[in-house]
């Protein structure tokens, strides 16, 4: 955990209950997940009940209360990508890495999630790995691509 960065975030928003979501977002971006320890700390620093922190942590799709893998795979299941075969992309990836959306593999190499429309419908079916957009890949191309990560 990068304590300096986290403390920096806390110092910026100390005691501002209204910034709860912002703080959680910044920490999630920094750490890629929100540990129990962090959630408790957020509740103390921003002076909001832990129940509300937990509730928000589980409410939004982008927050994760379990650790993420080194590489984040996001598959768009927006309408346009759905119509263009997002399901088969998802099936391919699931078969290749053996986890379902919302999960992280045992080696903590990949995390898989489905995301809503990313605004790149032209590229559909779209898959993003570590925030890099890949468009219209075949199953074989996906397999080759995933081999490049470790």
- Which residues between 83 and 112 bind other proteins (CB under 8 A)? 83-84
CA distances from 133 to 21, 143, 150 (A): 26, 16, 18
Q: Is 101 exposed, middle or buried (0-12, 13-18, 19+ CB in 10 A)?
A: middle
According to the binding rule CB under 8 A, does residue 119 interact with other proteins?
yes
Residue from 7, 61, 95, 105 in contact with other proteins (CB under 8 A): 61
Residue from 27, 75, 99, 126 in contact with other proteins (CB under 8 A): 126
According to the binding rule CB under 8 A, does residue 120 interact with other proteins?
yes
Q: Whole-angstrom Cα distance, residue 90 to residue 79? A: 14
According to the binding rule CB under 8 A, does residue 56 interact with other proteins?
yes
Give the nearer residue to other proteins in terms of CB position, either 7 or 79: 79
CA distances from 113 to 29, 37, 67, 129, 133 (A): 16, 24, 13, 10, 14
Tell me the HSE value of 7 on the side-chain side, using a 13 A CA sphere. 3
Q: How far is the CB of 20 from other proteins (least distance, A)?
A: 4
Q: Which residue ranges make up the site for other proteins (CB under 8 A)?
A: 17-22, 24-25, 28, 35-37, 40, 48-52, 54-56, 58-63, 65-67, 77-80, 82-84, 115-124, 126, 131, 133-135
């Amino acid at each position: 955990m990068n304590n300096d960065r986290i403390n920096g975030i806390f110092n910026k928003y100390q005691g501002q209950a209204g910034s709860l979501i912002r703080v959680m977002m910044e920490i999630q971006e920094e750490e890629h997940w929100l540990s129990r320890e962090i959630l408790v700390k957020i509740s103390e620093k921003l002076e909001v009940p832990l129940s509300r922190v937990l509730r928000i942590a589980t409410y939004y799709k982008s927050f994760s209360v379990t650790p993420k893998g080194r590489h984040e795979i996001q598959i768009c299941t927006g309408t346009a990508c759905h119509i263009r075969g997002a399901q088969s992309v998802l099936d391919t990836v699931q078969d290749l890495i053996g986890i379902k959306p919302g999960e992280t593999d045992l080696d903590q190499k990949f995390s898989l999630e489905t995301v809503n429309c990313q605004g790149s419908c032209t590229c559909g079916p779209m898959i993003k790995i570590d925030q890099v957009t890949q468009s219209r890949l075949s199953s074989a191309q996906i397999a080759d691509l995933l081999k490049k990560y470790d």
